[in-house]
Amino acid sequence: MSRSIPIELVSASGAATPRDTLARPLRDLRISVIDRCNFRCPYCMPEDQYAQDYEFLSKDQRLRFEEIERLAHAFVALGVRKLRLTGGEPLLRRDLPHLIEQLARIPGVEDIAMTTNAVLLPKFAQALRDAGLHRLTVSLDTLDAETFRQMSGGRGEVAEVLDGIAAAERAGFSKIKLNCVVMRGVNDGQVVDLVERFRGTGHIVRFIEYMDVGTVNQWRGESVVSSAELIARIGARWPLESLQPNYRGEVAERYRFSDGAGEVGFISSVSQPFCGDCSRARLSADGKLYTCLFARTGHDLRAPLRAGANDAELAGLIAARWTQRTDRYSEQRAELRARGEQKHVEMFAVGG
């Protein structure tokens, strides 16, 4: 533990928030609580790449809730203010509301959000809300039943997701973000229907450019539909006006409908990379710190944690890794792909 730094130097005041080699602070932490999923979306975890013997993490390999809480404390001491729970499918992790309760008690945590495919929300939405979850993002790629089956790898029904959203509304969640990954020739013909369904509800549909994450989705640039194309298409139906970001580093470009029916967002990580403001760290379910969605390897925090590292030592390890961070994959995509550098952590391991 020779790299440890005293915890008082990195207090919740944020005075010593580490900055990476491009002067980006550490602000957000995405916590993957499980690598398993009840869907097999072709852009993330395509069924045909997962032989029956594919080994997901065992219970012992996954961080326990107390361990996640310890690490979250260390990240918050370094300046993290926002936590997002993700997966795999986070609601497959047993007792998740209990973890949320523990995280919500950490002084300095201002926001806890979760990204989910929503199928299990009818069962858990109220408990999640009561536990202190502030915000929900639901993934929903299409309203068309057949396309939805295709985009969930034959595992999901769109009606279940809509039931999940309704359950979340009843539990008190509002302004739900609805993430839609757009793939050319698959669901790009259905984006207007999705917008129409949620205009005026207060929820915010966000279109995500299909990314070359992981190694298994056989990504091809031709399948990406740029945000510019979608903005033109949606704007032709309902005039749109560009909005300022809510905060520096917000990943979605915001637009409002000129008729006042709400907002729509576009996440353009392929056509307009936003690495310059990227302040997100990712913790995998087995306790590895990834400093980029496209990182090849993670930095193991589980071993020092289980070996008895104290809070200051854990914060020191995280700070040391963050200060060495050079990642800006999306800005270098063309160059790195041309060099054949395409080995990245899988999306379902770090959760987007």
State which residue, 89 or 313, has the beta carbon closest to ligand SF4. 89
User: Euclidean distance between the first and final Cα of the chain, in Å?
Assistant: 30
Q: Which does 217 bind (CB under 5 to 8 A by kind): ligand SF4, ligand SAM, none?
A: ligand SAM
**Interface with ligand SAM, residue 171, by CB under 6 A:** no
Range 122-138 burial, b when 16+ CB lie within 10 A, else e = bebbbbbbebebbbbbb
* Interstrand relation of 288-290 and 111-116 (parallel, antiparallel or unpaired): unpaired
**Interface with ligand SAM, residue 178, by CB under 6 A:** no
β-pair partners for 139: 179
Residue 182 class from Cβ within 10 Å (0-12 exposed, 13-18 middle, 19+ buried)? Answer: buried
Among 20, 28, 35, 89, binds ligand SAM (CB under 6 A): 89
**Interface with ligand SAM, residue 18, by CB under 6 A:** no
x/- mask, ligand SF4, residues 282-321, rule CB under 6 A, reads ----------xxx---------------------------
CA dist 103 and 283 (Å) reads: 14
Least Å distance, CB 117 to ligand SF4, is: 4
CA dist 192 and 177 (Å) reads: 16
Residues within window 249-288 making contact with ligand SF4, judged by CB under 6 A: 274-275, 278
**Interface with ligand SAM, residue 208, by CB under 6 A:** yes
CA dist 278 and 251 (Å) reads: 8
Among 328, 344, 349, 350, binds ligand SF4 (CB under 6 A): 328
User: Interacting stretch for ligand SAM, rule CB under 6 A, among 69-77, 97-105, 111-119, 162-170?
Assistant: 111-119
Least Å distance, CB 322 to ligand SAM, is: 22
Least Å distance, CB 4 to ligand SF4, is: 26
Among 26, 32, 39, 234, binds ligand SF4 (CB under 6 A): 39
**Interface with ligand SAM, residue 285, by CB under 6 A:** no
Instruction: Give yes or no for a contact between 137 and 85, defined as CB atoms under 8 angstroms apart.
Output: no
**Interface with ligand SAM, residue 71, by CB under 6 A:** no
Q: How far is CA 314 from the centre of its chain?
A: 23
Tally the C-alpha atoms within 13 A of residue 204's C-alpha that lie toward its C-beta.
Answer: 21
Strand order in the sheet with 253-257: 240-242, 253-257, 263-267, 204-209, 177-182, 135-139, 111-116, 82-86, 28-32, 280-283, 288-290, 299-300
Q: What Å distances lie between residue 98 and 135, 182, 183, 245, CA to CA?
A: 16, 34, 36, 33
User: Would you tell me how many other CB atoms lie within 10 Å of the CB of residue 61?
Assistant: 13
Least Å distance, CB 9 to ligand SAM, is: 34
User: Interacting stretch for ligand SF4, rule CB under 6 A, among 13-21, 70-78, 304-312, 325-333?
Assistant: 325-333
State which residue, 179 or 268, has the beta carbon closest to ligand SAM. 179
CA dist 282 and 309 (Å) reads: 20
User: Interacting stretch for ligand SF4, rule CB under 6 A, among 41-49, 57-65, 104-112, 160-168?
Assistant: 41-49
Q: Which does 327 bind (CB under 5 to 8 A by kind): ligand SF4, ligand SAM, none?
A: ligand SF4
Q: Which does 116 bind (CB under 5 to 8 A by kind): ligand SF4, ligand SAM, none?
A: ligand SAM
Which stretches of the chain bind ligand SAM, using CB under 6 A? 37, 43-44, 86-87, 89, 115-117, 139, 179, 181, 208, 210-211, 213, 217, 347-348, 351-352
